[in-house]
Chains A and B, each alone.
Chain A
């Protein structure tokens, strides 16, 4: 039989328990498929446990670029008997289930650990990947563990090739490798972390928390190469305050956290607000309240980003929806924070940070950084009143001036004041920056029909899913407006909405937080919403169906 009616793509799902090593299968297989020149999209859903349970990874292999989660499963490798039940509607009559006893075969080789390589090579052979090519990958991966481990895994690969060889009599996969082998395959966490490096990030103090840890880990892996100061703080309060100290002294700091950790940082965020200390916050969302669903995805923290920190002060919220935006926006975040002396959020979620696909290597030719701090003279005042509301930011030891910042309301020189007149002028100065920032806000992107009757609105990680859904629907009355910067909101939204006969907002949360922000900012109430808050991302099919049902 030939799996898959689309013919140019296959969706593989591997389902196993935590600790069984499906991550090894995933990384070996995507490494093999990508190196062989296939387009790949890979995402995972997993439980908050180290052993047991049921986790799964989806790998889409295609002749064309793929970058969204789909419900359809063409091939399933169930490493546990609960797999089919766990995956539910993702498995259909058309799903080809590979019922091999990988762990039994692995035991014959001496250890169940080999089942991962057997499973990966079984699949690899179905895609025409040859033995020598796969051997190379095995060597690359296991060479540090010694010759014996490499040999054992090559034997495991042989077993997989034997199983795959037999299976290829039953399944015929026709898709061809058409991707550029120079493409890069990274996930959202790496894209954010690389973007931070590109933005001159040289300091990170953070506290581990899913799903933000990947960014922290990646920057730590580059600590030596790029000379970054990396510190695991005792808590998020400390992480935030350390970063503010670092920015004060001229570093470019990043905090990476999730909702619960960010709650602890909000006091420090407010400090950033009044001291006008720049800060970049990577906030990886997961479902709350409290610990919620620790390893799942949601867009539930827009409100906390928007309203966090006591008092009134401006901030910027970036919401990348693909790997390029995750990279370029994070890079830009450091320059925006430095320029306007405000907190800048890079709001992602578990789905985005954990998803991989092929992209062209990031183009650095137009990536530029600008330091906005100034050399100071003896008469320097940190909060000097200026025409545009931005007081030049000095750095200790850079010039002769003294850099005095205070969490109390302060005068131009940074000293505590209770003068109402000074309070008013300082508060106005800080708040006036939002109008200046508005001048720099990039507009939302319209995808689909320019002559839309129905307008879909989305932000952040739903972007690629909605985009594929409307491409597949192929309706000329559908437009999709993607926001990668949700605050301050771009004025063009009003015209976009007014032009539509019907507007539907799509959000991975229960209360349409972005819809409410739009209503607050524009007075336009969007009544139709497609919302999802079960901890999983939308699938392309689900968007297609729910949009079609109106």
Chain B
């Protein structure tokens, strides 16, 4: 596959040096290496700097509302299971505004990949706290610093039985790409939370801070062990990176739909069965 197939001519509106670039490049490389054709991919996003990502790839996209990437992603996958569907957005988008959808999409387990750019701050609205901001994080709104417990997406996802849970760091392009590839190949809902420095509005969680406060799960780490995964997800002195948990035995949302038990065609190819309808309305 042409390795530039996903390149887009759209001017990128991110700050130079933004962690989003690393994620965009890792994602493009992952898609090319998996040989997924752009016409077979839909990226669904919400609002925020991360929500702009699909504009910078040449593919189908549905850039919807703030917090609402997961429901349309679920709807798209259910209407056409042949598509590769990625729901992408930031920490405020997925975990704040979209928190309820995050919980219930995990329960539903559609075969989609959920990429979350986690920079622990609201950047598009210029520097308020996000659900993942650390305690004490000061902003023009949280003037005395954040006092809420930071949202732990990894622990929440594992506790809800998410079938694939991983964390990456945007500066580690290769490792991030490999994690994204595994997430896309995984059959079922896959969360990839990606630490990413915001160079404009987060002076605490910088590139160096992330380097100092993360480590990769060991090579012999067993991602099938849910209890161990949960234990590791609670580590916050140094945040583990890598694939925390995989359950590849969980049936997907689409596999549970009777609409596909006999007929594998996507919904757009189907017509009303007027004979059946006739016997129904008689």
Chain A residues with CB under 8 Å of chain B are 182, 184, 194, 197-200, 202-203, 205, 222-229, 231, 233-235, 237-246, 248-253, 267-268, 271, 275, 327, 361-362, 364, 367, 369, 371, 373, 395-398, 400-408, 414-416
Asked whether, in the complex, the Cβ of B80 is within 8 Å of the Cβ of A405, the reply is: no
Interface residues on B, range: 35 or more
- Residue among A238, A239, A240, A397 making CB contact with B80, cutoff 8 Å: A397
CB contact under 8 A between A249 and B71, given known A228-B259, A415-B55: no
B259 / chain A contacts, CB cutoff of 8 Å = 202, 223, 227-229
- Expressed in whole angstroms, the Cα–Cα distance for A50 and B5 within the complex equals 59
CB contact under 8 A between A222 and B101, given known A369-B271, A396-B39: no
A337 to chain B, nearest CB (A): 15
Chain B residue with Cβ nearest A394:
B60
Asked whether, in the complex, the Cβ of B100 is within 8 Å of the Cβ of A234, the reply is: yes
A309 to chain B, nearest CB (A): 12
- Expressed in whole angstroms, the Cα–Cα distance for A86 and B64 within the complex equals 50
Chain B residue with Cβ nearest A239:
B71
19 new A-B contacts, CB < 8 A, other than A246-B75, A268-B65, are A194-B281, A205-B71, A205-B75, A222-B280, A226-B273, A227-B258, A229-B257, A237-B68, A248-B76, A249-B266, A250-B79, A364-B274, A367-B274, A373-B268, A396-B76, A402-B39, A403-B42, A404-B54, A404-B60
Chain A residue with Cβ nearest B72:
A245
Asked whether, in the complex, the Cβ of B74 is within 8 Å of the Cβ of A406, the reply is: no
B44 part of interface (Cβ distance < 8 Å) = yes
A279 to chain B, nearest CB (A): 11
B50 part of interface (Cβ distance < 8 Å) = no
B125 part of interface (Cβ distance < 8 Å) = no
Asked whether, in the complex, the Cβ of A402 is within 8 Å of the Cβ of B58, the reply is: yes
- Residue among A198, A234, A246 making CB contact with B267, cutoff 8 Å: A246
Q: Please report whether the interface of chain A is mostly helix, strand, loop or mixed according to DSSP.
A: mixed
Asked whether, in the complex, the Cβ of B76 is within 8 Å of the Cβ of A241, the reply is: no
- Expressed in whole angstroms, the Cα–Cα distance for A192 and B197 within the complex equals 52
Chain A residue with Cβ nearest B268:
A250
1/0 contact string of B230-264 vs chain A (CB within 8 Å): 00000000000000000000000100011111110
Chain B residues with CB under 8 Å of chain A are 10, 13, 38-40, 42, 44, 47, 52, 54-55, 58-65, 68, 70-76, 78-80, 82-83, 100-101, 103-104, 108, 253, 257-263, 266-274, 276-278, 280-282
A246 / chain B contacts, CB cutoff of 8 Å = 75-76, 78-79, 267
- Expressed in whole angstroms, the Cα–Cα distance for A112 and B280 within the complex equals 35
B276 / chain A contacts, CB cutoff of 8 Å = 225-226
B261 / chain A contacts, CB cutoff of 8 Å = 224
B42 / chain A contacts, CB cutoff of 8 Å = 249, 396, 403
Can you identify 28 A-B contacts, CB atoms within 8 angstroms?
Answer: A182-B282, A197-B280, A198-B277, A224-B258, A226-B276, A227-B262, A229-B79, A229-B259, A237-B68, A244-B72, A244-B75, A245-B71, A245-B74, A245-B75, A246-B79, A248-B76, A248-B79, A249-B80, A250-B267, A395-B268, A396-B42, A396-B76, A396-B83, A397-B82, A400-B39, A403-B60, A404-B60, A416-B55
